[in-house]
Amino acid sequence: MVRVLFSFVLVLLLISSVFGYPSSIRTNPPITINSFTCDCNLGSCSCRLGDIQLGVDLKKVPEIDCSAGCVAFFGEVMSVNLPFLKIEILEESQRKASLLFKIGLGTEVDKTMQVLKEKMIEASKSKSKKALIDLTTYFVYQITKDITFQKKPNAAGVALVVQELASLAKKGKLTDFLSFYFYLRAKHPELLLSSDIDESKKSPVSPLALYRYPQEVSYLMKLVFSDLKNKVEAFNNAIKAKNVQAYNQLLEKFYLLGVNGVYWGLDENFPDLMSRLAAYLPNYEKKLNNSKSLEQEVKSIVEDLNKKKKMKRQNF
């Protein structure tokens, strides 16, 4: 009964996030999702940031008036066009990870890497724009899971990650970051939400945060663990006490996080989301005991990438 009541509250909350006008998507003025300007109709949105384009499907949007937050939360990205993400960059990143860290990439266990390689071959052979967009969409969708912790990324999550990738590209650091990312896929799949290892073994940490703050890995691990632990405990307490108000407040916080592109994505109800996050906690506790070792490893990798870049400049 409590679960039914809370589900009803969830529906009310999501409906209250939009206005009660007849079914439509607001586009005048155009809506904005994480710096992307989106022109929408009843079925889809075309979102742009400079020469970057996202095609967003709106089939999962409630059939009521839907403004920016609603599209960001319920929109599903079906195509990603990133002119700066070329096949050569992916190939160079994989090669650099393999040579610099002497690891094997694309093992049989990692289906994501296998599919990525197949799509890279297809795009390279056909040289068609469609094949390249298909490759880009697939890759961005997978890496968005790892950066945002969304099991099925929504429009807000993809837009957020694409902005970050664009920023790295602008600074000339995209290849280095992707090399680091491919290293993590091969060496530490437990840190990545998109990896093919069992869910019960994962303790996800954003690869982008690890790359940017290699000297603070231990702190990042503790921060993520503490934040999730507090939220899971608040959820369990609300359920135990049958406290609808406390539950509703927590649900609203996570909904707003989802609107901004983290944690809560598509096709996952709130109780299941909290169960998934709770399942990670024991793994974080185990990882924290070895966090200093991971910190040294990450620090060494990032330093090696930076050294290699400096050597390249000196040779030039």
Please give the pLDDT value at position 9. 39
Q: What is the pLDDT along the chain (316 residues), one digit of tens a residue?
A: 444 344 433 444 343 433 333 345 655 578 899 999 999 887 899 999 999 999 999 999 886 677 889 999 999 999 999 999 999 999 999 999 888 777 666 555 688 899 999 999 999 999 899 999 999 999 999 999 999 999 999 999 999 999 999 999 999 999 999 999 999 999 999 999 999 999 889 999 999 999 999 999 999 999 999 999 999 999 999 999 999 999 999 999 999 999 999 999 999 999 999 999 999 999 999 999 889 999 999 999 999 988 766 555 444 4
Strand 31-33 to 52-57 pairing: unpaired
Please give the pLDDT value at position 125. 92
Global pTM?
0.88
Look up residue 38 and give its amino acid.
C
Please give the pLDDT value at position 107. 54
What is the dihedral angle through the alpha carbons of 90, 94, 99, 102, rounded to the nearest 10 degrees?
170
Listed in order, strand segments (DSSP E) in the chain are 31-33, 36-40, 44-49, 52-57, 76-81
CB count within 10 Å of CB 130 equals 10
| CA–CA dist 247, 124 (Å, integer) | 50
Please give the pLDDT value at position 103. 67
Please give the pLDDT value at position 16. 40
Please give the pLDDT value at position 101. 76
- C-alpha 62: how far from its chain's center? 23
Please give the pLDDT value at position 162. 98
Please give the pLDDT value at position 19. 33
Please give the pLDDT value at position 5. 40
Please give the pLDDT value at position 127. 86
